[in-house]
Amino acid sequence: MRPKLQLLSPELVGRILGEAFELLMNPGVRVGSAVVELLQAAGVEVRVEGDDRVAPLPEALVRRCLASVPRDFYLYNRQGEKAVHYGGDDVHFDPGSCCVQMLDPDTLEARSSETRDLVRIVQVTEMLPQFAAQSTAVVCTDAPSAIGDLYRLLVVLEHSDKPVVTGSFSAAGLEGMIDLLAADCGSREELREQPRAVFDVCPSPPLNWSEFGSHNLLDLARAGVPAELVSMPLAGGTAPVTLAGSVTQHAAESLAGITLHQLAGPGSPIVWGGAPAIFDMRSGGAPMGAVETVMLNMACSEVGKHLGLPTHGYLVATDSKFVDAQAGAESARSAMLGALTGINMISGAGMIESLACFSVEKLVMDAESIASAQRLVRGIEVRGQTLATDMFAETGLSGNFLKLKETRALFRQEQHIPSTVIDRSARGSEPPSDVFSRARTRVDELVSKWRKPPLPEDVRREFQAIVDREADRAGVAAELPGN
Amino acid sequence: MPNQLFGAMRQSIIDGAPDTATELAQQALANGVNPLEAVNEGFAAGITFAGEQFGCGEIFLPDLLASAEAMKAAMSVLEPEMLKRGSQREALGKVVMGTAKGDIHDIGKNLVATILSASGFQIFDLGTSVAPEQFVAKVREVDADIVGVSALLTTTMAGQKAVIEALDRNGLRPRVKAIIGGAAVTSKWAAEIGADGYSRNAIDALELAKNLMSQVTNKGTALT
């Protein structure tokens, strides 16, 4: 039996969706100009209120759009193998994204993130089986910001074979990124057939699919490249203070996103995702480590599951500024709870300071929490004909289980063997080390074992041509930092 | 009697009770209390206290906002009368505010505007996704002392730099002080782009604005 946690009763899910549908009609949803024609063609009367375009979305239309969303889909690695299953209760993890700060392990200060940091994050992520996908984790502040989104993806593709969770910074940026992925797998058709990446697309709370967000949904739907909705209500700040109220707003924003997306490309893959959080009543920030933030992610995902959709959440992050006890506690418990909810993709590992900063040392520490969570959801399995009596038949009362062939055959399945980041050793003559110093050593080990994936010369040339073209379009020099 | 009234005024702000604050302001006018005195001795003392309480973690943002709203309610009763008497409360300074171009997240900017306004600053709020030229035009139009640019997204933080550059290009600094804020903004970023200040929250922003105003005022003396 796979252990599973649920926070919402079926009745409450029904009420959440009921009120979400009400919100979609009144007050309606702000939308970008890009989708107005599409909505009008579907019979929606888009009204102009000041500078805004507001669309009431009737339940029948939304339900029709929901019906065309694929119930599951896969992301593929560079070798063309299925690597991430978005659907059911399968759980995967990827590093968080996307900040502009990196924790310097020597000074313990945050500094601007650069190409070398993203490369290091990608190398470590590539080496850790806990991460099914890469993410375009940090902005490289040493590259031209006008093509910063494209450049991040380029760096990841050059250093990894895994699927990628990414996103664009502008409507124009998306096209170049899709071209890059198409070049990597052969063509736009092949990308549609076997997508390697999913793109995060964010509405702005409350109930606003801005010009940029609307545009991205349309372009992704038409290209058939998976989209991941990242609605982020802040309970009490940009959304109702009650958790149930914020889950309702999340549902309304996500349903609106699905409607725009499916109208543009029926059957195109899309994920019911999000980064909901509470609003901190002291700092005005979004505390990612708060248990209520975790509860919001769990509940939002449950609503998505009720609708039969692939899901995503934002967990395994911390509000601490260091890789300390708070970071460990907050990240580990949210990894566990997210996994027990069966969220298909859980982003956030490696992030500190409420998503403002990345630490690659925390990434390897989080990998241990994730491994524990993955072990937990495998549950307690029955192996063999009997649970214990056959083994006792062999040992009698000697207690000598260590030499049993079953022990040797099964201990790797029964126990997760942690890396050296986790200290279980007996006290020796050396002074004990703390988790941060062990994590630093582990990062160095992983980076030294990493090998750059071979990239065919023609693909490399095509990458360069796309970067040149996009740099030209953005009016910046295509001279990029070496990586 | 006035002392008791001033005490009640102060309390209405601390309680975040706009209706009570309005009534007390009306009562003060009916009883011939000097409106400027009512502000300084009564209501403003309340907002100062609420700010201090917030600063030491005794009250929270919703409480502070309610206090600011109550302050606004009292001022809307007293201001017309002060105007009539020519005894207007002197603004602590003129602040032009907005979010950076491309950024529509305004919760932080609104908080700062509310707190500064309640504390006696005159606010010119340009709203969201404001182009550098709009900041420059407004600064010129109202002869602002401070410009505040907010950015939530790491991708729009560059817009803060653009505003500061535009102010420089138009020769408006150092006369006008530029301050920035936002979730991902740090004092390091502020220094990097040549901002005059940064604060983590609305109450710190109030302190920052007050400090900068003393520089703005002192500058005149220094020049003579």
- State the smallest CA–CA distance between residue A286 and chain B in angstroms: 9
Averaged over A87-92, what is the pLDDT? Answer: 98
Residues of chain A in contact with residue B111, where contact means CB-CB under 8 angstroms, are 284
Inter-chain touch A284–B61, beta carbons under 8 Å: yes
Q: Can you give the pLDDT at residue A480?
A: 73
The beta-carbon neighbor of A145 closest among B158, B184, B200 is B158
Inter-chain touch B183–A100, beta carbons under 8 Å: no
Q: If contacts are CB pairs under 8 Å, which of residues 84-113 in chain B contact chain A? A: 104-105, 107-108, 111
Pairwise CA distance, residues A321 & A362, whole Å: 11
Q: Can you give the pLDDT at residue A482?
A: 63
At A174 the three-state DSSP class reads helix
Q: Check pLDDT > 90 for residue B89.
A: no
Residues of chain A in contact with residue B104, where contact means CB-CB under 8 angstroms, are 204, 208, 210
Residues of chain B in contact with residue A237, where contact means CB-CB under 8 angstroms, are 107
Q: How many CB atoms lie within 10 A of CB A426?
A: 4
Interface with B, mutate which of A103, A204, A214 (most B CBs under 10 A): A204
Pairwise CA distance, residues A304 & A296, whole Å: 12
Q: Check pLDDT > 80 for residue B224.
A: no
Q: How many inter-chain contacts (A to B, CB under 8 Å) are there?
A: 46
At A211 the three-state DSSP class reads helix
Q: Can you give the pLDDT at residue B1?
A: 58
Task: Please report the sign of the dihedral spanned by the C-alpha atoms of residue A188, residue A192, residue A196, residue A200.
Answer: positive
% of chain A with per-residue pLDDT over 70: 100
Averaged over B37-51, what is the pLDDT? Answer: 92
Q: Contact at 8 Å (CB) between A248 and A19?
A: yes
Residues of chain B in contact with residue A208, where contact means CB-CB under 8 angstroms, are 104
Residues of chain A in contact with residue B61, where contact means CB-CB under 8 angstroms, are 279, 281-282, 284
* Closest Cα in chain A to B156: A169
At A355 the three-state DSSP class reads helix
| Domain made up of B2-85: CATH architecture | Orthogonal Bundle (1.10)
Residues of chain B in contact with residue A210, where contact means CB-CB under 8 angstroms, are 104
The beta-carbon neighbor of B183 closest among A111, A204, A356 is A356
The predicted model scores a pTM of 0.92
Stretch among A276-280, A359-363, A428-432, B103-107 having the lowest mean pLDDT: B103-107
Averaged over A375-382, what is the pLDDT? Answer: 96
Inter-chain touch B61–A281, beta carbons under 8 Å: yes
- What residue spans in chain B does CATH classification 3.40.50.280 cover? 94-223
Pairwise CA distance, residues B73 & B22, whole Å: 6
Domain ranges for chain A: 67-378
Residue A483 pLDDT grade (very low, low, confident, very high; cuts 50, 70, 90)? low
Inter-chain touch B186–A236, beta carbons under 8 Å: no
Q: Check pLDDT > 50 for residue B219.
A: no
- State the smallest CA–CA distance between residue A188 and chain B in angstroms: 28
The beta-carbon neighbor of A282 closest among B57, B105, B157 is B57
- Spell out which chain A residues touch chain B, with contact meaning CB-CB distance below 8 angstroms: 98-101, 110-111, 139, 145, 148, 169, 204, 208, 210, 234, 236-238, 279, 281-286, 354, 356
Pairwise CA distance, residues A398 & B99, whole Å: 73
> Euclidean distance between the first and final Cα of chain A, in Å?
46
Inter-chain touch A139–B158, beta carbons under 8 Å: no
Q: Can you give the pLDDT at residue B218?
A: 53
Averaged over A65-80, what is the pLDDT? Answer: 98
| Domain made up of B94-223: CATH architecture | 3-Layer(aba) Sandwich (3.40)
Cβ-count burial B141-174 (b if 16+ within 10 Å, e if not): eeebbbbbbbbbbbbbbbbbbbbbebbeebebbe
Mean pLDDT of chain A: 96
Averaged over B137-166, what is the pLDDT? Answer: 92
Q: Which tokens hold the place of B145?
A: 């002392």
* Closest Cα in chain B to A241: B62
Pairwise CA distance, residues A113 & A152, whole Å: 11
Residues of chain B in contact with residue A114, where contact means CB-CB under 8 angstroms, are none
Q: Check pLDDT > 50 for residue B221.
A: no
Helix (H) or strand (E) holding A76: strand A73-76
Inter-chain touch A283–B201, beta carbons under 8 Å: yes
pLDDT tens digit sequence for B111-127: 899 889 888 899 999 99
- State the smallest CA–CA distance between residue B224 and chain A in angstroms: 42
Inter-chain touch A354–B183, beta carbons under 8 Å: yes
Stretch among A58-72, A126-140, A350-364, B144-158 having the lowest mean pLDDT: B144-158
Looking up tokens 């201090």 gives B52
- State the smallest CA–CA distance between residue A170 and chain B in angstroms: 10
Q: Can you give the pLDDT at residue A98?
A: 87
Interface with B, mutate which of A101, A230, A232 (most B CBs under 10 A): A101
* Closest Cα in chain A to B57: A282
- What residue spans in chain B does CATH classification 1.10.1240.10 cover? 2-85
Q: Contact at 8 Å (CB) between A293 and A287?
A: yes
Helix (H) or strand (E) holding A314: strand A312-314
Residues of chain A in contact with residue B62, where contact means CB-CB under 8 angstroms, are 236, 281
Q: What share of chain B is helix, strand, coil (3-state, %, to 5)?
A: 60, 10, 30
Inter-chain touch A100–B201, beta carbons under 8 Å: no
Comparing CA positions, the residue from A64, A279, A263, A355 lying closest to residue B153 is A355
Residue B217 pLDDT grade (very low, low, confident, very high; cuts 50, 70, 90)? low
The ipTM estimated for the assembled molecules is 0.83
Q: Contact at 8 Å (CB) between A346 and A377?
A: no
What's phi and psi for B112, nearest 5 deg? -65, -45
B62 near A CB under 8 A: yes
Residues of chain A in contact with residue B200, where contact means CB-CB under 8 angstroms, are 283
% of chain A with per-residue pLDDT over 90: 93
Q: Can you give the pLDDT at residue B107?
A: 82
Q: What is the CATH number of domain A67-378?
A: 3.20.20.480
